[in-house]
Amino acid sequence: MHGHFDKATPFDPWPKDSGQHRLTRRGGALYSFRSPSAQEFAPENHWLLVLLSPIQRLRLALGDDEPRTTNVTAGMVSVVPASVACRASWGAELENVVVAIEPCRLKELAAEEFGRSDIELSPTYPVLDKVAFKLATLLKDELQAPAGSNELFLESLVTLMGLHALRTYSNLNGPKRRVRASLSASATGRVKAYLQENSAAR
């Protein structure tokens, strides 16, 4: 699925023609490639934006902060919590993956992971994150798969990104409790089989 969004999506107000996307149960993933530009937004959902290529002098402001100008590299992630205003501008082509997660879904994941749902994501300026970069690369590859993306695999990757955000960029990033299975045994088996097949193919 790509091109124009027919309805409101978790990625609004990201440009409708920026790249391939796929919606999941309560969120989604978008591979985006944009020309030099600027944008202001305050997403309704939690966003993780993972850079896939370097950019010189990226200018970014989160919330009421003054804009910060930095040179960023591939593998850096910015976290924009729901309803937090963001102003960004860039003077080179921007290649990234945007992962959107509905606030209610992140609370569910927090309850499963930590046994509590009073979560607060921290607005985060670009920081190198190898885990997020690996997940974003897998999402990009899956979104661009010639045969079409696998719904279960994408759902799993978005869920993993949400869990990673909770562990790394939230007020709950301390010791976690024993995790309950989020997928049924049969679904977990299908995910493992797909991951093995996917890794072997690459």
Model confidence pTM above 0.85: no
Q: What is the pLDDT of residue 70?
A: 95
Helix (H) or strand (E) holding 56: strand 55-62
**Model confidence pLDDT, tens digit, residues 14-23:** 887 888 989 9
Residue 30, phi then psi, degrees to nearest 5? -135, 125
Q: What is the pLDDT of residue 198?
A: 55
CB 132 within 8 A of CB 51: no
Q: How far is residue 181's CA from residue 198's CA, in Å, rounded to a whole number? A: 23
**Model confidence pLDDT, tens digit, residues 112-147:** 989 999 999 999 999 999 999 999 999 999 999 888
Query: Out of 5-9, 67-71, 141-145, 182-186, which region has the weakest mean confidence (pLDDT)?
Result: 182-186
Rg of the chain on CA atoms, in Å: 17
**Model confidence pLDDT, tens digit, residues 71-128:** 999 999 999 999 999 999 999 999 999 999 999 999 999 999 899 999 999 999 999 9
Kindly report the average pLDDT of the chain as a whole number: 86
**Coil, strand or helix at 52:** coil
Q: Where would I find the H helices in the chain?
A: 103-114, 130-143, 151-169, 185-201
Q: What is the pLDDT of residue 26?
A: 86
Q: How far is residue 161's CA from residue 152's CA, in Å, rounded to a whole number? A: 14
Report all structural domains of the chain as residue ranges with CATH numbers, in order of start: 21-201 (2.60.120.10)
What are the b/e assignments for 9-38, b being 16+ CB within 10 Å? bbbeebeeebbbbbbbebbbbbbbebeeee
Q: What is the pLDDT of residue 188?
A: 52
Residue 182 reports pLDDT greater than 50: no
Q: What is the pLDDT of residue 195?
A: 58
